[in-house]
Amino acid sequence: MQYLPHTGEDVRSMLRVIGIDKLEDLFSTVPEDCRLKDDLNLPGPMSEWELNDHMEGLSGRMAVGPEYKAFIGAGRYEHFIPASVSYLLSRSEFVTSYTPYQPEMSQGTLQAIYEYQTLAARLLGMEVATASHYDGATALTESLLMAVRITGRKKVAVSSLIHPLYRRTIQTYFGPTGYEVVELPYLEDGTTDLCRIDELDDLAGVAVQSPNFFGCIEDLQKVGKKAHEKGALFVSCFTEALAYGLLKHPGGEGADIACGEGQSLGIPLSYGGPALGIIASSEKYMRKLPGRLVGQTKDLDGKRGFVLTLATREQHIRREKATSNICTNSSLCALAAAMYMASLGGTGIGELARLNHDKAEYLKSELKGAGFHIPFDRPTFNEFVVEFPQGFERTYERLLEKKIVPGLSLGPFYPELANHYLLCVTETRSRAEMDELVRGLTIEY
């Protein structure tokens, strides 16, 4: 069966319009060593049951399956998901990515987004939240672009302790715009060095992640004060939304915009996706927010109803007029987060956050007692950095053979931190599993 709808003449005609000769020219920005030079090595046609067997065989070759004990987070976190969330989310009427422009046909979807907005705003201590953002990286980038629009300035300061892939996404978005991105270095205690902010002019926003990529908790009040002294907006970013069940929320620390990743709130890891971008702000900036904003109203009969509000349809789909070019509604992930937060409630989220913190502190203490160096003497949430001795790669491979993943190497992201690993513990890891990891690490040392 042919899956390509365009004829050769169709393709040539489209290439002429955009001024290139061949399809390969569309990928000229991709480095040569990252491009596939040969044809795809695809197997021949299969029946449905043969394809199922083939896919099961491929899944069995995955490096990390459910039988592995993974102590790795770095922006994607394994949490237990209540059965109520999985069951309710599977209802067919919820499964749509289309934006609910017609309220008379979409009250269920609109109410679901409204409830999500309410819960997200409460979690982050902000006045208004929108929906439909792809992931934490794009949510942060959209927030910085929002700061540029609000202030009319063209420079943003970004902590080097924001997730490295988030920072790469910022560079991708900001590269063609002419706006300047300045990275703030980090201090010896594993938090952001704010001194450089004093040297910057024309500053639109300051972005800091807390807990940061090292798991350390930043002094958000101090960051907000520095940003506001320069007339800039304070953008507080996160990769682990659950942390605000225990930590003070960004709104209470003076953030103008809070943004980040909501995958922890009821969305499984699923080998890397999908994700949930969250953006919330104070009310005075709500007309500058990208994404969908649902408001509550009444119909002609006085009954409660919900509508998209404070933004035209063109804001979502028309490049010249758009706040951003978000097109997918992404409401299923937002609904999962709303169901998760409602299932746990405020008390449950607080207890779960405390459990994550305490388990990570137990493992940190055990590793420290076993002689391993914890380089950053700062409070952390559910992940932290450990320095291992030279030659740790052999131990790492040996533990992988035992189906234990002992953290993420920081060397590729921070070359000065060779032999430093980021370890994460959530409620899914038992004390016995943590003790097994410590024993495995100490055998050779």
**CB contact set of 423 (below 8 Å; sequence gap of 6+):** 71, 72, 360, 363, 367, 383, 384, 385, 386, 406, 407
Alpha carbon distance 384, 189 (integer Å): 12
Query: Angle, nearest 10°, between helix axes 107-124 and 331-369?
Result: 30
Domains of the chain: 69-80+345-442 (3.90.1150.10), 83-341 (3.40.640.10)
Query: Kind and range of the H or E element at 347?
Result: helix 331-369
Render 214-267 in DSSP notation, one character per residue. TSBPP-HHHHHHHHHHTT-EEEEEES-GGGGGTSPPGGGGT-SEEEEE-TTTT-
Alpha carbon distance 259, 124 (integer Å): 9
How confident is the prediction along the chain (445 residues), in pLDDT tens digits per residue? 456 678 889 999 999 999 998 888 888 888 888 888 888 888 888 999 998 998 888 877 765 666 789 999 999 999 999 999 999 998 888 877 677 878 888 888 899 999 999 999 999 999 999 998 999 999 999 999 999 999 999 999 999 999 999 999 999 999 988 899 999 999 999 999 999 999 999 999 999 999 999 999 999 999 999 999 999 999 999 999 999 999 999 999 999 999 999 999 999 998 788 999 999 999 999 989 998 899 999 988 999 999 988 876 656 666 666 777 676 778 899 999 999 999 999 999 999 999 999 999 999 999 999 999 999 999 999 999 999 999 899 999 999 999 999 999 999 999 999 999 999 999 999 999 999 999 999 876 6
88 SS3 class: helix
**pLDDT value, residue 79:** 96
Alpha carbon distance 262, 278 (integer Å): 6
**pLDDT value, residue 1:** 45
Alpha carbon distance 325, 374 (integer Å): 43
Q: Which 8-state DSSP code applies to residue 74?
A: T
Alpha carbon distance 115, 359 (integer Å): 31
Q: Within 13 Å and on the Cβ side, how many CA atoms surround 252? A: 9
Contact 236, 261 (CB under 8 A): no
Give 3-state DSSP helix, strand, coil % of the chain, rounded to 5: 45, 15, 40
Alpha carbon distance 138, 430 (integer Å): 33
- Maximum alpha-carbon separation in the chain: 74
**pLDDT value, residue 444:** 61
Contact 266, 241 (CB under 8 A): no
